[in-house]
Amino acid sequence: MRIREKQYGACIAPYRNVLYLCHRNADPDAIGCSFALSRAFGGSIGAADDLSRTGAYLADILGARILINPPVDDYDLVVVVDTSVSTQLGDRLPKSYALVDHHLDKGLLDGSLFYIQKPTKSTAEIVWTILKENGKTIEKRAALGLMAGLIADTGRFKRASTGTFLAAAEILKAGGFDYEEAQDALSVPADLSQRIALLKAASRCEVTRQGDWLIACTEVNSFEGSAAMALVDLGADVAFVAGRHGKSEKVRISARSSREAACRNINLAKLLGEVARAYGGDGGGHRSAAALEAIGDPSVLLDACRKKLLESLT
Ligand SMILES: [Mn+2]
């Protein structure tokens, strides 16, 4: 059931024991939103498998306790936050759940008790509206969490909308801190392993040119998302980065596209979703930032992504 932000308080009220659940590799948007919701309406915070480095850094600053892989069926209700496909939860989708999210995928909507899904630039903007319309006063730490999520998901306002700027101004005012403090909550010093992964990704990169399009494909077994972003920064229109995790057959691919590519109607969420489902997995995300998990050989999956993209360009 789709609900409005204003109805959130009434919908959550009957549940005593609520868990806010973040996706795997939980980022500042997921952490900040779960923290703000749990402070306003009560409940615990959990994440599937792990937190991202910036997510962990922010959780530390907020003093948020995040349970890793909590027993989801022990809660009256699980609110899935900033997540749009069940593979992002390691397929541990609880029996009864609600959803607050800003992605394009529809996969979790039908099975939910109630949901708010809007294509805002960050889930933080939705959560901010929820708090306002339910008459919650926001404390500084919660505001800081939302602001950090908003800054991170918009690439420091590069992908911001007018709604993002409005929300940002309101959150700063309500929280009583300045923009610099919010930026500090995201400034994790880049660690050596990340820098090595990005340099490896760039040095192994294979570039395909079609007309004036440059497509970069590469393999590296960590920091795929950051690597894809780095390759777009270096000049690729679209970058696909594949990695294998642990000993499993599972392959993760992260994809990013330039602003130009997004303007020319490339939809990476759709493209990765289709490739993933052809290889026994699932994927999704946003038009210009998406990911998949599927079974197979990394190079074969990369090839399938590249082929599908080339087809859509002709
Ligand atoms: Mn998000």
Give the Å distance between the CA of 284 and the centre of ligand 1: 12
> What is the structure's pLDDT at 39?
97
Q: How many CA atoms lie within 13 A of 73 on its CB side?
A: 2
Give the Å distance between the CA of 314 and the centre of ligand 1: 31
pLDDT: which is higher, 79 or 191 = 79
Give the Å distance between the CA of 212 and the centre of ligand 1: 31
> What is the structure's pLDDT at 91?
79
Residues around ligand 1, an ion, CB closer than 5 A: 29, 82, 123, 153
Give the Å distance between the CA of 242 and the centre of ligand 1: 21
> What is the structure's pLDDT at 191?
83
First to last CA, the chain: 40
Q: Does the pLDDT value for residue 200 go beyond 80?
A: yes
Give the Å distance between the CA of 153 and the centre of ligand 1: 6
Give the Å distance between the CA of 206 and the centre of ligand 1: 29
Over the chain, what is the mean pLDDT? 95
pLDDT: which is higher, 94 or 32 = 32
Helix (H, G, I), strand (E, B) or coil at 283: strand
Give the Å distance between the CA of 289 and the centre of ligand 1: 11
pLDDT: which is higher, 284 or 92 = 284
Give the Å distance between the CA of 209 and the centre of ligand 1: 31
- Relative to beta strand 213-219, strand 289-295 is unpaired
Give the Å distance between the CA of 22 and the centre of ligand 1: 10
Burial degree of 139 (CB within 10 A; 0-12, 13-18, 19+): middle
| Average of per-residue pLDDT across 262-272 | 92
H helix count then E strand count, the chain: 12, 12
300 C-beta neighbours (distance < 10 Å), count: 12
> What is the structure's pLDDT at 260?
86
Q: Does the pLDDT value for residue 246 go beyond 90?
A: no
Give the Å distance between the CA of 98 and the centre of ligand 1: 16
> What is the structure's pLDDT at 236?
97
Model pLDDT for residues 135-153, shown as the tens digit of each residue: 999 999 999 999 999 999 9
The domains of the chain, with CATH numbers, are 5-184 (3.90.1640.10), 193-313 (3.10.310.40)
286 phi, psi to nearest 5 deg: -120, 175
Give the Å distance between the CA of 14 and the centre of ligand 1: 27
149 C-beta neighbours (distance < 10 Å), count: 33
Helix (H, G, I), strand (E, B) or coil at 141: helix
DSSP string, 92-129: ---SSEEEEE--S--TTTTTSSSEEE---S-HHHHHHH
Model pLDDT for residues 29-84, shown as the tens digit of each residue: 999 999 999 999 999 999 999 999 999 999 999 999 999 999 999 999 999 999 98
Residue 289 banded pLDDT, cuts 50, 70, 90: very high
Give the Å distance between the CA of 285 and the centre of ligand 1: 9
> What is the structure's pLDDT at 90?
86
Q: Does the pLDDT value for residue 248 go beyond 80?
A: no
Give the Å distance between the CA of 210 and the centre of ligand 1: 32
